[in-house]
Amino acid sequence: MPAQSFLVVDDDHSEREILVETIKRAFQAAAVQAAADHKEALALCAEHNFDCVVLDFSMPQMDGLTLSHKLRAQAPYLPLVLVTGVGDEVLAASSVRRGVSDYIPKSRVNQESMRRAISRAIHITTQARVIDEQRNELESFAYALAHDFKQPIRQIRTFTKLIMNDLKADENEEMRQHLVFLGEAARRLGDLVDVMAQYTLLSKVPEVGEIDLTKIVNDVRESLSTHIAEKRAELVIGEVPKIRGNETLMTQVIQNLVVNALTYNKSRVPRVEISGEHQNGRGLIAVRDNGIGIEPQYLSEIFNPLKRLHASSEFPGSGLGLTLARKAMVQQGGKIWCTSEVGEGTTFFLDCALHPPKADAGSTH
């Protein structure tokens, strides 16, 4: 097994030497290099594959937390240990949530504490790498499997139609009915495979920016115009704020909610209302319908995968639509929930970031 290699980054020469010697005593076979500033550290990390970087938080040109972000961008699974001075413990603890592997106060730096901090940082990042690799492998497998399922499903539907066409109009009505059921089952399976592929793709981090929600809702209305006309439904669009998100994902969310509102609806005139407002520095979008409603005990379950409250013979669907909607909202930094009253209708709420982000908005509204 090759010897471990570490890097110490500290602008103070004497403290840098202390850290180097402490690490050498903690890991006797390790090679330890040192850098006096962020430029030297970035250059060394680009040239060497260090097992861990130990960096001081308080440095004049670039603090350790900022440098850790640059190092992590350069090497996503590089273990980073932040060394902090007196009074920096709260900041250091929060930095762990922002990408630093671990931290250690200077007042507690000794051979044993350094060994524990570095070993823990290496363990954490190693586990993170394994988890990400397994997730990526699983997502690739699931997407490939969904793609491979499409061909046999198409063949089932094609041959079902061919057999139907070969049957005479007055011949074997029972077999004809079985073929209808078979074709419909193949269609539902195809829809489920499509949704599963979408669910897999939603694991990717989306690009976000300013999106015009009014345009999205109007596009959804146009794409569903035939369905809305068939249902003799009304889609009412009120004022909605400009939000920050991903246009494709938000379109999928709105379309899914509108389709659900029209599907689970027995009103003479199905009605869907979409409106929005600013609330607590966020955008709150409401999608209301006059459908059949949801019983209270199921409100916490409807976003679970493959959760269906009704038989497919009564209301068609894959059981993944709301799961996809929730995942899409989370990917955009938002949330989704609903309230409902049986026989009166359901309202889905979408919590979205406003554009521009609050930090950049200044005093404007």
Query: CA–CA separation, 137 vs 134, rounded Å?
Result: 5
| Domain stop point among 97, 115, 131 | 131
| Domain stop point among 101, 131, 161 | 131
CA proximity to 245, closest of 353, 325, 337: 353
pLDDT at 94: 65
pLDDT digits (tens, 9 = 90+) for 254-281: 988 999 899 888 899 999 999 998 888 8
170 and 157 in a common domain: yes
Instruction: Tell me whether residue 111 is in a domain.
Output: yes
Q: What is the CATH number of the domain that holds 217?
A: 3.30.565.10
342 and 225 in a common domain: yes
Q: What is the CATH number of the domain that holds 27?
A: 3.40.50.2300
329 and 222 in a common domain: yes
298 and 169 in a common domain: no
pLDDT at 346: 93
Question: What does each of the 365 residues of the chain score in pLDDT, given as a tens digit?
Answer: 568 999 999 998 999 999 999 999 999 888 999 999 999 999 999 999 999 999 988 888 888 888 888 888 888 899 999 888 755 566 666 666 667 888 888 888 899 999 999 999 999 899 888 887 876 676 666 666 666 777 788 888 888 888 888 877 666 777 878 888 888 778 767 766 766 666 565 566 667 888 888 888 888 888 888 889 888 999 998 988 888 888 878 888 998 899 989 988 889 999 999 999 888 889 899 999 999 888 888 787 788 765 555 444 444 554 567 888 888 898 888 999 999 998 899 999 999 988 765 444 433 33
Please say whether the beta carbons of 34 and 5 come within 8 A. Answer: no
Instruction: Tell me whether residue 365 is in a domain.
Output: no
**In what helix (H) or strand (E) does residue 54 lie, and over which residues does it extend?**
strand 52-56
**In what helix (H) or strand (E) does residue 348 lie, and over which residues does it extend?**
strand 345-354
pTM given for the model: 0.49
Instruction: Tell me if residue 318 falls in helix, strand or coil.
Output: coil
Instruction: Tell me whether residue 163 is in a domain.
Output: yes
226 and 196 in a common domain: no
143 and 281 in a common domain: no
**Number of domains composing the chain:** 3
Query: CA–CA separation, 202 vs 249, rounded Å?
Result: 9
69 and 9 in a common domain: yes
86 and 14 in a common domain: yes
**What domain range is 57 assigned to?**
5-131
223 and 330 in a common domain: yes
111 and 73 in a common domain: yes
| Domain stop point among 201, 222, 245 | 201
**In what helix (H) or strand (E) does residue 84 lie, and over which residues does it extend?**
strand 80-84
Instruction: Tell me if residue 276 falls in helix, strand or coil.
Output: strand
302 and 178 in a common domain: no
124 and 140 in a common domain: no
